[in-house]
Every structure is written in structure tokens, then in C-alpha cells.
A and B are shown apart, each in its own frame.
Chain A
Amino acid sequence: MSEPQDDDLPPAPTPEAPGEGAPITVAGRLSGYLRGGGIITPLLTALLAFVVGGLVVALTGKDPIETYRAIFDGTGLNWFFPWISEEDRTVAALNLQQTLIITTPLILTGLAVAFAFRCGLFNIGGQGQYLVGSYMAVWIGSSFDGMPSVLHIVLCMIGACAAGAVWGGIAGLLKATTGANEVITTIMLNWIALWVGVWLVNLNGPLQNTEQKSVPVSPDIVEGAKLPVFWGDPELQGLHIGLFVALASLLVFWVLLNRTVTGYEVRAVGFNPDAARAAGISVSRNYILVMAICGLFAGLAASLDVLGWQFRVARNDIEIGQLGFYGIAVALLGRNTAIGTFFSALLFGALLTGTSVRNLDPLVFPPELATALTSIIQGLIVLFVSADILVVYLWRLRRKIRRRGSAESEAVAA
């Protein structure tokens, strides 16, 4: 690891030919992509994924157009259409609240991945960081009954952030001190977090609900620790104010990355660790810091879920939860930028809500199948984004062909 490799130092991509000379670090590749693609490629990527997902639907003998339409109706995004009836709008409002409830953690788990990417790190550990955050939030939230509400909520959030930051920080620390690949360590930490959680809430576990002895679930958080609902009925899972925390985090992310010394160092390390080191930036310090901040975002996401609408952690949720993993797709599709993360979190939030058992009309398309379809689309989006070079490559190929074509026609003319 310590020996400099011949191609560890990528030539900076030239503006007119992004990706040329192929920068090989993740961040170097990313910067090429940013210049090469803009807003069009993410849209095309998502569109392509939906088309291929539609093909799967069509191949299994169902109507993809009808299916996507039903999913869209379930997302509640039709609430924004001015022409729908009052009755539809009421339903749409309920659906949109669900979409935004899911969008909230997705923004934050997306940031947890995006921030690492900007430092040239791949944080697959968002799920584990999210999980430990949720344990901490539930533990604090279900204890200290009678504490002032605001204080209790803030304490839960801080606890969850700290737990996530420690979990992410372990991977950063190992990377900084021993060079252990953060991909491997974060994967392992995910599973460790999962089993620790199962142990915590399992029957007779330390965090199991003492009033429901036979159910593997944590106790509910106390009333005072619940986040206020600002849109919709609290009894019907209305939209909680955690959304604003997530939106504020987007702003924090942007400012931290683009307007602070830390952010400058993070980006410098991400672009080229060797150059950053030569310029006097402590690469290892940045690795630890960045992974801790990533974990903090993921932990915050967990606390908003726990305090906002879940109020508890069940063994089943721990085992099948995917929100941390969706963060990878959110960050990649959003180009690891604040605004991109917001829109792709909204896309995935809508998709997850639209395909949920609760929101999708089973007469049009079975919701369980639609949930699987969401995973397929998620996989396809990540796959297509992985080949960022593909888009750039096709773009260059087109130019090359055109150039060759003109050269040939000149030759013919001569």
C-alpha cells in the first residue's frame, strides 16, 4: 500500500475531454464525470433503469406503463398537480407525507455516502452506522421519562449521531492507521451492527421490551421524545419536522464541503491523496474525520426515523432494513452533491413509498413484486452510474466517429 504505484497519480482530466487519461481514484473519476455529464446523465441513467425495470415487468406478462402509473399514484406526487379533484388531493396528501417521511432518512444516508466519496472513500457502512444510531436513539428515547421534550429530543439525536460517528470512525481509524480497506471494514461493521442489534432486542435481550416478553422488539420511546408532526394527522403517521433537519443537513454538507478549510482538505485528499500529503494535509486525520462525519449523518437519519415515526426498533426491521444501502444509490445518482442528493433521495423515497404494500393498488400490480422491482431499479441505477466512463466514452466515441467521418470525406474529396 505504501509503495507508490505507477498509475497512482492520475493525470488531471482536461476540461475539453473529461475522463481522458482516465483518473483512477474514485474522486478523480468523479470529477471527470461531473464535468462530463451535468444534469443530463443522471436523468438518462434513471430513465434507462426504469426502462429496463419495465422490461422485466413486461417479460413477466404485466403492463409496465400501468404499473408505473399505479406506483406514481401511490407516491403522492400528484398532489402538486393543480387539476386533480379534492378527494384525490386528500389521498395524495397522505401519500406524499409517506414519501417525504422516507425521503428524510434517505437524504441523510445519501450524504453519509456522498461525503465519503468526496474524500475518495467508499462508505458501504451507512446501514451499520444507521443501525447503531437507531439503537442509541431508542435507548435514550425510552429512558429518562419526564425530561423536558426539546432537551430529550436533542439528547437522542446527539446520542445517535455519536454512535454513528463512532461506528464510522472505526473504519476511518483502521484505514488511517493500518491501511485496511474501508470497503471491507464497513461491510463487516454492517453485519456486526446487525447482530448486535438482534442481540439487543431479542427475547430477554438488554434492550427488549419488558412489557411484551414474547416479541423481539425494543420498548417504545416516551411521548416527550417524539418529534412534532407539522403536516397531517399524528395518529395517521403525519410528516414530522425531521424533514427540516435533513434539509438543513444538506446545507451543512454544502457549506462544510465548499466553504470551509476542512472541506477543502477533504476534497484535496479525495482528488489526490499523495498531492494532498505533499501539500501538508494530514491524510489520515481526514480519513478518520470524514468517516466519523459520514457515520454522524447516518446516525442522525436513524434518530429522525426513531423519533419521527417508528418510535421503536424491531428485530425484523434490523434484519431487512435497507435505508443505509439505498443511500449508496442516492449519493451516486445525485453525483455526491447536496442538490443532487436531495432530488435522488426524493426519487427513491417516492419509489419506495409508491411500491409499498400500503400505497400500491394490488389490483394493478402486486406490491411485493413492486418492492422487488424497486431493488432492481436501484441496482440498475448504481450499475449504470458505475460505468460513468460509459457515458463519457459514448460521448467521446460519437465525436471520434464524427471526426473520422469528416477526415474520410476530406480524403475522398482530395
Chain B
Amino acid sequence: MTRKQFGWAAVAAGFLAFFVAVPPFTVRTPAVPIVLGLIGLFLGVWSLAGGERRWGWGGIAAAIIGMAGGIAATQSGVGNLERVVVWSALFAAMLRYATPLIFASLGGLFSERSGVINIALEGMLLTGAFFAVLGADLTGTWYLGVLIGMAAGGALALIHAIFSVSLRADQIVSGTALNFLAFGLTTYLYLNRYGAEGTPTDLPQVPDVHLPLIEDIGFVGDIFGQMNLLIWMGLALVLVTWVVVFRTPPGLRLRSAGENPLAAETAGLSVVRTRYLAVVTSGVLAGAGGAYLSIGFVHSFSQNMTVGKGFIALAALIFGRWRPGGALMAALLFGFSTALAQRLPVFSPSAATLFQALPYVLTLVAVAGLVGRSIAPAAIGRPLERS
């Protein structure tokens, strides 16, 4: 076994330490999670000692968290555990919470891979969410709502592209500005149109996909049998993004614009056009995420309803090291932590509140390079210099 595999084993042991203590196994003695956690700890240290920093630290963290969670679970009542840890419901909720993050972080991936920082994902999500509601309300059809939401996200992104690519504005300042602008504009238009009553209750909604055969297969059926259409599209988009960015010529151009724009320009590629396309794509995708949030998930719009989801998406992108698979995993992890946080108040409301900060803490740890270093595309944040 390589040291990396030891690291994986450590993560697995940490996971197991928690898993055995909750339903369906529900081991009641703390000794089992402690033993499993210690095994994980040992494996993690062993992996780290061999120079495998990323998985070594990851394993140690997983072992400690798993052990703590497992011990906590053995100390709480079986009834509570069975109410909180319903795996199928947790996974279904995870996918619902993760979908806006998946769309937005994949959007961010396009933009940042092309060398344009996009901290306006939050604003684009919010814009997509509002205009999807407005579009669905005006046209009476959910798909036009989604399309209008995507177009609105794209339009906001176009402003970002004009300012940060053509006018060579500071990309972070421009992104910050768009977040303010999106917040102000959506709030203004929302209050102006819907006022105190809120959005209509009979808004067209993005339909769920019923899979008659799968629906009946117990656990899997509970999760995948009736998933929203946009959740499926989000999952498919991960694959599409991976193929486009890493297996096609346009994807190569995209990455070269982000890694070494001067070389790309020398090779005859229009960096400006590539970046424009990438940034607008990011807005369109984030807009779709917003549309899911408003007319796919909660079926309404409220002021500033994204409350930082765009920043969690950015965090997922960084945590996933600017790769589609990584972003998906991070989005699922953050989605799971939100799903769990919704159910934790059974045990302790205050712990549930603090749990909401977890994605941000993990990202802080990730960018600080404690658990493997997240390295951004080389030319990120820098406008193309032409003489």
C-alpha cells in the first residue's frame, strides 16, 4: 500500500467510526467508535509521516471528527438518532441543497479557468433566482422562467466581462460591485412588483422526474425516484463540464487563457473572446442555479434569498481545486452539512447554528494549504496585457 492509500483508509476509518454509531447499526458503546477513530488516526499519521500531506491531514481530520461524532451519537437517545439520521432523506436533502452550489461553482469554474475571478457568483445566483420567478410569473411556463433566469445571470456576467476584460477593471472590485448591484436591483424590482404580499403561490414550478422502476427500490428509490429535473441537469452538467474543459479544443483554449494568456495570444487565440464567453457562461450557469433555487426548490422569491450560497459555491470551487469532480464533491459535502444542520436542532439548536459556518471554515483551511494546497489558475485575476 502506498502512503496515499493509507490516507484514504484513514478517511474511511473516520467515516466508519461515525457510521457504526448511527442507524441502521446504532452501536451503543463508545468503545467501537473510539477504536475505529484511533485506527484512523494512526493510519493518518502514518500517511503523513510518509510525506502525504493532503490525505494524511485529511485522514487525521476525518478520524477525529468521525470519532467525536460517533461518541456523541452513542451518548444520545436512540429515538432522536432515528429521527435525525434518516439516510435517504438526508441524501435527498443534500442533493437539493447542493444543486445551486453545483451550478454556480461550475459556472465559476469556466470563468476562473479562463483567468477571470468571479466573486459575483452570489449576485448572479440571486439575479437568476429573481428573474426566473418573474419570467415564470409573466410567461406562465416554468421552462421560460428558467431560461429568463439564465439570461439574466448571463447579462449580469456580461457586465462583469465588459468591465474586467475590456476595461481591465480590477476583477474583484467589479465582482463586489455586481454583488451589491444584484442585491439592490433584485430587491428593488421584487418590492416594486410583489411588495409585501410576496411572490404568487401559484408560480409555475420546475417538475420532478418520476422514474417508475427506480422509485420502488427502497433506499435508492427514495433519493433518485422523484428528483427535480434541474438536479439531474446539475449532475449531468458536471460531466459535460469535465468533457468540455478537459477533453475538447475549446476547453484547452479556455485553460490556456487562464494559465498563460500571452502564449495563448501568441498562438493565435483570442483571449478576450475566450474570456468573454467563459464569463457569460458562468453567469448563465449561476442563473440556472438561482432558477432552481427559486422555482425548483422553494417555489418563491424573497429578498436576498441566496444568503451567501454564491460564496459557498466559490468555496466549493476552491475546495474542489478548480476541477468539476472536486467542485461536485465539495458542493455535496457542503450540501450535506446544510442538510444535517437542518435536522440537528433536535439535539442542540446552538450546535446546528455553528454547523452553518462549517463550509467557510473548511475553505479557510483549504486555501491556507493545511489540507493540500488549492492552487488557482496561474493568470487568474490579471487582465491581458497587450503592448
Q: Which residues of A contact B (CB under 8 A)?
A: 5-7, 22, 24, 26, 29, 56, 60, 122, 124, 174, 178-181, 183-185, 187-189, 191-192, 195-196, 198-199, 202-205, 319-320, 325, 328-329, 332, 366, 368-369, 371-383, 385-390, 393
- Rounded to whole Å, the gap between the CB of A32 and the closest CB of chain B is 12
Please determine whether A372 and B187 come into contact, CB atoms closer than 8 angstroms. yes
The answer on a CB contact under 8 Å between A369 and B188 is yes
Residue of A nearest to B262 (CB): A6
Distance in angstroms from B266 CB to nearest chain A CB is 12
Is chain A's interface secondary structure helix, strand, loop, or mixed overall?
A: helix
A198 pairs with B353, CB closer than 8 A: yes
On whether the beta carbons of B183 and A379 are closer than 8 Å, the reply is yes
Min distance, Cβ A42 to any Cβ of chain B, angstroms? 15
Docked-complex contact A187 and B314, CB < 8 angstroms: yes
Q: A7-B385, A191-B308, A332-B173 are in contact. Are A380 and B364 (CB under 8 A)?
A: no
Q: Chain B residues with Cβ under 8 A from A187's Cβ? A: 119, 311, 314
Contact B170 A386 (CB under 8 A): yes
**Binary flags per residue of B364-379, CB closer than 8 Å to A gives 1, else 0:** 1001110001001010
Whether the Cβ atoms of B176 and A388 lie closer than 8 Å is no
Stretch of B87-95, B229-237, B354-362 lying at the A interface: B354-362
- B381 → chain A closest CB, angstroms: 9
* Residues of A close to B349: CB separation below 8 A: 202-204
Q: How far is the CB of B272 from chain A (nearest CB, A)?
A: 15
Contacts of B117 in A (CB 8 A): 183
A122-B173, A387-B163, A390-B169 given; 16 more Cβ-contact pairs under 8 Å: A22-B383, A26-B170, A124-B176, A174-B367, A180-B368, A181-B376, A187-B314, A195-B356, A205-B350, A319-B307, A320-B304, A372-B187, A375-B188, A376-B188, A379-B182, A380-B177
Specify which chain A residues have a CB less than 8 angstroms from the CB of B192 in the assembled complex.
60, 369
Contact of A29 among B163, B170, B307 (CB under 8 A): B170
A389 touches which one: B169, B178, B350, B378 (CB < 8 A)?
B169
B178 A202 Cβ-Cβ under 8 A: no
Q: How far, in angstroms, from A180 to B179 measured CA to CA in the complex?
A: 22
- Name the residue of chain A whose CB is nearest to the CB of B382: A24
Please determine whether A386 and B368 come into contact, CB atoms closer than 8 angstroms.
no
Q: Which residues of A contact B311 (CB under 8 A)?
A: 187-188, 191
B385 & A387 in contact (Cβ 8 Å cutoff): no
Q: Does B174 contact A (CB under 8 A)?
A: yes
A374 proximity list for chain B (CB < 8 A): 184
Which residues of B are at the interface with A, using a C-beta cutoff of 8 A?
117, 119, 159, 163-164, 167-170, 172-174, 176-185, 187-189, 191-192, 262, 304, 307-308, 311, 314-315, 318, 349-350, 353-354, 356-357, 360-361, 363-364, 367-369, 373, 376, 378, 382-383, 385
User: Considering the chains assembled together, what is the distance between the CA atoms of A413 and B65 in angstroms?
Assistant: 83
**Residue pair A379, B174 in contact (C-beta under 8 Å):** no
Please indicate the chain A residues that have their CB under 8 angstroms from the CB of B176 in the complex: 124, 328, 382
Alpha-carbon distance A198/B353, docked complex (angstroms): 7
Instruction: Decide if A373 touches B314 in the complex (CB within 8 Å).
Output: no
Given known pairs A199-B353, A393-B167, the reply for A178 and B173 (CB within 8 Å) is no
29 A-B pairs within 8 Å (CB atoms) are namely A5-B378, A24-B382, A174-B368, A178-B373, A179-B369, A180-B367, A180-B368, A180-B369, A181-B367, A191-B308, A195-B356, A196-B357, A199-B350, A205-B350, A319-B307, A369-B188, A369-B192, A372-B187, A375-B180, A375-B181, A375-B187, A376-B180, A379-B177, A379-B178, A382-B180, A383-B177, A386-B163, A387-B169, A388-B169
Are A378 and B180 neighbours in the complex by a CB distance under 8 Å? yes
Closest Cβ of chain B: how far from A238's Cβ, in Å? Answer: 30
* Cβ-defined contact, B119 with A383, below 8 A: no
* Residue pair A185, B382 in contact (C-beta under 8 Å): no
Could you tell me if A387 and B174 are in contact, using CB atoms closer than 8 angstroms? Answer: yes
> Which residues of A lie under 8 Å from residue B357 when comparing CB positions?
191-192, 195-196
Partner of A379, one of B180, B361, B364: B180
Bound form: Cα–Cα A366–B194 in Å: 13
Query: What's the Cα separation between A127 and B360 when bound, in Å?
Result: 15
A375 — which chain B residues lie within 8 A by C-beta?
A: 180-181, 183-184, 187-188
Most buried by A among B262, B311, B360: B360
Cβ of A202: which chain B residues have Cβ within 8 Å of it?
349-350, 353
| Min CB gap A52→B, angstroms | 10
Return the contact of A383 from the options B174, B183, B318, B354 (Cβ within 8 A).
B174
Q: Is the CB of A56 within 8 A of B172?
A: no
Question: Are A376 and B184 in contact, with the CB atoms below 8 A?
Answer: yes
Distance in angstroms from A40 CB to nearest chain B CB is: 19
CA distance A181 to B381 in the complex (A): 11
**In the complex, chain B residues whose CB is within 8 Å of the CB of A198:** 353, 356
Flag if B354 contacts A56 (CB, 8 Å): no
Distance in angstroms between the alpha carbons of A393 and B376 in the assembled complex: 30
Return chain A residues, CB-CB under 8 Å to B360.
Answer: 188-189, 191-192, 195
Q: How far is the CA of A380 from the CA of B368 in the complex (A)?
A: 32
Residue of A nearest to B376 (CB): A181
Are A192 and B361 neighbours in the complex by a CB distance under 8 Å? Answer: yes
- Distance A405 CA – B48 CA, assembled complex (angstroms): 69
Contacts of B174 in A (CB 8 A): 383, 386-387
Query: Quick one: closest A residue to B183, CB to CB?
Result: A375
B188 close to A372 (CB less than 8 A): yes
Contacts of B369 in A (CB 8 A): 178-180
Q: Which 4 A-B pairs have the closest CB atoms?
A: A375-B184, A379-B181, A379-B180, A376-B184
A195 touches B353 (CB 8 A): yes
Contact yes or no, B159 A389, CB < 8 A = no
Q: Cβ of B315: which chain A residues have Cβ within 8 Å of it?
A: 184, 188
- The docked-state distance in angstroms from the alpha carbon of A386 to that of B159 is 12
Chain A: minimal CB distance from B335 (Å): 16
On chain B, the residues within 8 Å of A325 by CB distance are 180
Please give, as numbers and ranges, the residues of chain B lying within 8 Å of A204 by CB-CB distance: 349-350
- Which residues from A are CB-within-8-Å of B314? 184, 187
A22 and B385 form a contact (CB under 8 A): yes
> Does B367 contact A382, Cβ atoms closer than 8 Å?
no
Out of A328, A379, A390, name the residue touching B184 (CB < 8 Å): A379
- The minimal Cβ–Cβ distance linking A174 to chain B, given in whole angstroms, is 5
Residue of B nearest to A189 (CB): B364
